[in-house]
Amino acid sequence: EKGGWSSFMRKEVSEQPEAVANTLRGRIVDDEVVIPELASFGDDELRSIRRITVIACGTAAYAGMVAKYAIEQWSRVPVEVELSHEFRYREPVLDEHTLVVSISQSGETMDTLMAVKYAREQGARTISICNTQGATIPRESDAVVYTHAGPEVAVASTKAFVAQIAALYLFGLHLARVRGTLSATELATQLAELQAVPEKLQAVLGEAEKVEQLAHWMADTRSVLFLGRHVGFPIAMEGALKLKELAYIHAEGFAAGELKHGPIALIEPGQPVFVVVPSPRGSANLHPKVVSNIQEIRARGARVIAIAEAGDAAVLPFADEVLRIPLAAPLFEPLLAVVPLQIFAMELAQAKGLDVDQPRNLAKSVTVE
Ligand code: F6R
């Protein structure tokens, strides 16, 4: 039931605060992560993991890419993310110290299922992050951490994506506690950030009107580029994927640092470019680097739409439009920055008269290889 909404997608986009809150519910107790579903993974086993391989497809793979930054930073366990359909055909190196984490909203994606089976055959231990109770992938895994986003009907994944990141962050913080890589204070700080996400998502949704206008102005656009860095990089790719699948517009997401290695040649006057701007409070001077990327593309005529945190004035002289997200610790920004990109793609598709719930050629669950 659409419950008064014009599409399932619009309903599901608006349910994102709830989706994250439900995924966190009952799993944070006295500043510690409690995941009873992981009981079969004892602390000794979690301490003995040498690396994590995340397998997923599409939007779920981008959730994995976001989580890679957080899990590595918190737990110091190396994380690689691989598309399920590539993983199985390259004789990946796996052993009992490799943890394979699959991510699937439906729990039925054939490529991911086959990759999980393959990993188990090779002796790896497997955890499934899944949104569908009793689906095949969790049944084929050693343990499952369910996202409680509720049923996702629209083909394009939205609320499942933010719930996947929330579940992966919980797992990363659990791992960090068990392995002793975060102090109790750091853990409490990160958990508080995580718990603040639903409210901040609500604030981002409250700013939708500006994005909607932008989408309507841009209804004739033939190509859109997306740039991001660090956790903003997978968000750039997710923004591009949403626009391709919903609005049938050519779109590409790049790591901003790659620009000068090729993609900047694509910039010509009028080319729209979304830039996910990292927080000026973040590490490694990423913010000034992305601002200078913006200057570079602006000088070549790009039309820049910046997604930047509230109060970041450095982008103002160079951006044609600024979409604001609330302040959050850098690792938590992707959960917020993705929302305007989802809304942009949905609105643009609607402005073109397309069916946002059922884009052409796509199925909600891809049960063939
Ligand atoms: C994009 C989208 C797809 C899915 C992918 C994996 O909006 O929905 O890219 O994310 O097909 O599906 P699941 O998560 O069901 O394995």
The ligand 1 atom at the shortest distance from the C-alpha of residue 58 is: 9
Residue 365 Cβ < 6 Å to ligand 1: yes
Yes or no: say if 137 and 116 are a contact pair by the CB < 8 Å rule. Answer: yes
The closest residue, in CA terms, to atom 10 on ligand 1 is 59
CA 16 remoteness from chain centre: 13
Quick: pLDDT tens for 53-71: 999 999 999 999 999 999 9
Identify whether 364 is a catalytic site residue.
yes
pLDDT > 90: percent of the chain = 92
What's the pLDDT at 235?
98
Residue 181 Cβ < 6 Å to ligand 1: no
Give the span between the Cα atoms of 270 and 27, in whole angstroms.
47
Residue 129 Cβ < 6 Å to ligand 1: no
Rounded to the nearest angstrom, the distance between the alpha carbon of 82 and the centre of ligand 1 is 14
Q: Which residue has the higher pLDDT, 263 or 273?
A: 273
Give the span between the Cα atoms of 7 and 350, in whole angstroms.
10
Ligand 1 pocket test, candidate residues 12, 243, 366, 369, most atoms within 8 A of CB: 366
Q: What integer is the mean pLDDT of 196-201? A: 98
Give the span between the Cα atoms of 113 and 137, in whole angstroms.
5
Instruction: Compute the chain's Rg from CA coordinates.
Output: 20
Give the span between the Cα atoms of 227 and 215, in whole angstroms.
18
Residue 255 Cβ < 6 Å to ligand 1: no
Cβ neighbours of residue 343 closer than 8 Å, sequence gap 6 or more: 13, 208, 211, 212, 215
Of the listed 210, 244, 352, 364, which one is catalytic? 364
pLDDT higher than 90, residue 28 = yes
Rounded to the nearest angstrom, the distance between the alpha carbon of 61 and the centre of ligand 1 is 8
Rounded to the nearest angstrom, the distance between the alpha carbon of 367 and the centre of ligand 1 is 11
Give the span between the Cα atoms of 48 and 93, in whole angstroms.
17
The closest residue, in CA terms, to atom 9 on ligand 1 is 58
Burial 189-219 (b: 16+ CB within 10 A, else e): ebbebbeebbebbeebbebbeebbebbeebe
Yes or no: say if 87 and 100 are a contact pair by the CB < 8 Å rule. Answer: no
Rounded to the nearest angstrom, the distance between the alpha carbon of 58 and the centre of ligand 1 is 5
Yes or no: say if 156 and 242 are a contact pair by the CB < 8 Å rule. Answer: yes
Tokens 């397309």 — which residue? 354
Q: Which residue has the higher pLDDT, 203 or 363?
A: 203
Quick: pLDDT tens for 320-340: 999 999 999 999 999 999 999
Yes or no: say if 228 and 334 are a contact pair by the CB < 8 Å rule. Answer: no
What's the pLDDT at 369?
80
pLDDT tier at 169 (50, 70, 90 boundaries)? very high
pTM of the full structure = 0.97
Kindly list the distances between the CA atom of residue 117 and the CA atoms of 38, 80, 107, 109, in Å, as whole numbers in the listed order: 19, 18, 13, 12
Residue 305 Cβ < 6 Å to ligand 1: no
Residue 110 Cβ < 6 Å to ligand 1: no
pLDDT tier at 367 (50, 70, 90 boundaries)? confident
DSSP-assigned states of every residue in 222-278: -EEEEEE-TTHHHHHHHHHHHHHHHH--EEEEEEGGGGGGTGGGG--TT-EEEEEPP
pLDDT higher than 80, residue 1 = no
φ, ψ dihedrals at 95, nearest 5°? -155, -170
* Amino acid type, 229: R
What's the pLDDT at 40?
92
Nearest Cα to 332, choosing from 97, 128, 74, 55?
74
Residue 153 Cβ < 6 Å to ligand 1: no
Give the pair of three-digit tokens for residue 124: 């790896």
